[in-house]
Amino acid sequence: MAVPTIAVVGRPNVGKSTLFNRLAGKPLAIVDDRPGVTRDRREARGRLGDIPLRIIDTAGFDDADATRLGTDMRAQTDAALREADVCLFVIDAREGITALDQAFGDVIRRSGKPVILIANKAEGRAGVDGITESYALGFGEPVAISASHGEGMGDLHARLTQELGDFDRLDDDREDEPPLRIAVIGRPNAGKSTLINALIGEDRLITGPEAGVTRDAIAVDWLWDGQRVRLHDTAGLRKKGKVNDRLERMSAADTLRAIKFAEVVLLLVDAEHPFEKQDLTLADLVLREGRALVMVLAKWDLVPNRQAALKELQYEFERLLPQAKGAPLVPVSALKNKGLEDIMPAVTRLHRDWSAKIKTRDLNDWLQEMVSRHPPPAVQGKRIKPRYLSQTKSRPPTFVLMCSRAADLPESYKRYLINGIREAFDMPGVPIRLIVKGGKNPYAKG
């Protein structure tokens, strides 16, 4: 059954993202005292009491902002209004009604959608005069709340129940299959939002030539070939030494969180200047988190001798990141819609291998062959004996090797075994974890 869609709208810095986080039940949106932090519209599933919700957080655009970015932010808010079943129009009770609140009220009124006026920041006895003033907006009695403290949520539930009327409130969170979660990362201004817009075929995310347009990690739901996909657009990550601004640090933390919750990560690099130090740092971070990695080579239309260039880049990538040997490199031009059709097949192949489980018997037959072909070196005249190998988990594939003198097994031999697993069981590009433990084969007789 359908879940009601709630758009949280209002001028900048009235607490829309704080209310969004409160309804979502987790800190999804970046919150800061500065106005204009939210730019794209962000969506999440949430709940207010017994009411399941689809919530949309919107940009607090300024009517006086005539820049292209300001226009795009306004368009994102208009799109949220069109999708909403109910609008939560948020004002700052402590500041009272401003000219921009009145302008926003006119925009919302023209949408024709049901509106609940929210007087936020009204904790304790704060904002009494602002609440009284808000009647002049013409949306009836305001609901006084404090989104940061959770006050007034019961009153909001009562009003929302009234506005939704007979809306069927059966919870549809029980999807047959969870979506495939993909994070799109890269340096600032790499073209991440442009790539997502090109993939889904709509201008869902704000783009622009200036770096830092995206601040939050924005989730976009998409249906590809019958499969549910959740794409996470992220803020560009710079070198730590260059990140001085508090808001940028919060954006970076949001991006890192998106990587941790992703299953596959698309790392966007400039094909004309690939594999710079920051690109390699990001790729290493993804692999250390155990995520499956796809390298997307952007601006491929600008590269001469493309076939030879791709071969050279594949060699260079595996030399610089041997732990990702075999990871797919997908050349694209998002602006010209070239190569986009190759991304999702590469993602699904990699995701399948990342989720793979290998039978213990097959692993140990393989281990016996690998050890007989190339036994571990002796340490201080004593042999190291690998005894037993098993897979303990997938996503990423994780193996435990039972071995005598486990602490002395060289890193080079571990790499030998990991590369052997990757090759023998056809798992190119997948991060593989190998844990070495001392002890005997628990399944051995005697």
Give the annotated binding-site residues for GTP.
10-17, 57-61, 120-123, 186-193, 233-237
Closest CA to 4 of 53, 42, 44: 53
Cα gap 234→408, rounded to integer Å: 41
Closest CA to 97 of 42, 152, 137, 39: 137
Contact 202, 33 (CB under 8 A): no
One-letter amino acid identity for 258? A
Contact 164, 4 (CB under 8 A): yes
106 C-beta neighbours (distance < 10 Å), count:
11
Beta bridge partners of 89: 9, 117
Q: Which residue has the tokens 């560009």?
A: 236
Quick one: which H or E segment has residue 128? helix 128-134
Cα gap 136→134, rounded to integer Å: 5
Closest CA to 172 of 46, 260, 52: 52
β-sheet with 51-57: strand ranges across = 42-48, 51-57, 5-9, 86-92, 115-120, 143-144
Contact 128, 144 (CB under 8 A): no
β-sheet with 218-224: strand ranges across = 218-224, 227-233, 180-186, 264-270, 292-298, 329-331
Binding-site residues from annotation:
10-17, 57-61, 120-123, 186-193, 233-237
Our measurement of the distance from residue 341's CA atom to the centroid of its chain's CA atoms, rounded to an integer in Å, reads 21
30 C-beta neighbours (distance < 10 Å), count:
19
Q: Copy the structure tokens of residue 399.
A: 């193996």
Q: Copy the structure tokens of residue 190.
A: 């790499």
Contact 6, 86 (CB under 8 A): yes
Q: Copy the structure tokens of residue 198.
A: 């090109």
Closest CA to 118 of 138, 98, 148, 92: 92
Q: Copy the structure tokens of residue 271.
A: 């094909």
